[in-house]
Amino acid sequence: MASEEVEDTGKFYGDAKKYWESIEPTVDGMLGGFAKISPTDINGSKAFLRPFLQVGGGKTAATKALDCGAGIGRITKRLLLPIFNTVDMVELNQKFLDQARTFIGEESSRIGKLFCSGLQDFTPEEGQYDVIWCQWVLGHLLDKDLSAFLLRCQKGLSPNGLIVIKENVTSTEKKDFDDQDSSFIRSYEDFTQLILNTGLQIVKKERQKGFPKGLYDVYMYAVR
- Sheet containing strand 129-135, edge to edge, reads 111-116, 86-91, 64-68, 129-135, 157-169, 217-223, 202-207
Which pLDDT band holds residue 219 (cuts at 50, 70, 90)? Answer: very high
Q: Is 69 annotated as a binding residue?
A: yes
Handedness of CA 174, 143, 76, 70 (dihedral sign): negative
Q: Has 215 been labeled as part of a binding site?
A: no
Q: Does the annotation place 128 within a ligand binding site? A: no
Side chain identity, residue 15: D
Task: Give the per-residue pLDDT at 5.
Answer: 59
Averaged pLDDT for residues 17-22? 96
Concatenating the DSSP letter of every residue in 52-116 gives GBGGGTSSB--SEEEEET-TTTHHIIIIITTT-SEEEEEES-HHHHHHHHHHHGGGGGGEEEEEE
pTM exceeds 0.75? yes
| pLDDT above 90 coverage of the chain, percent | 93
DSSP state of 25: S
Q: How confident is the model at residue 3, as a pLDDT?
A: 44
The better pLDDT of the pair 4, 108 is held by: 108
44 is in an annotated binding site: no
Q: Is 119 annotated as a binding residue?
A: yes
Domain containing residue 54: 3-223
CATH number of residue 26's parent domain: 3.40.50.150
- The number of folded domains in the chain is 1
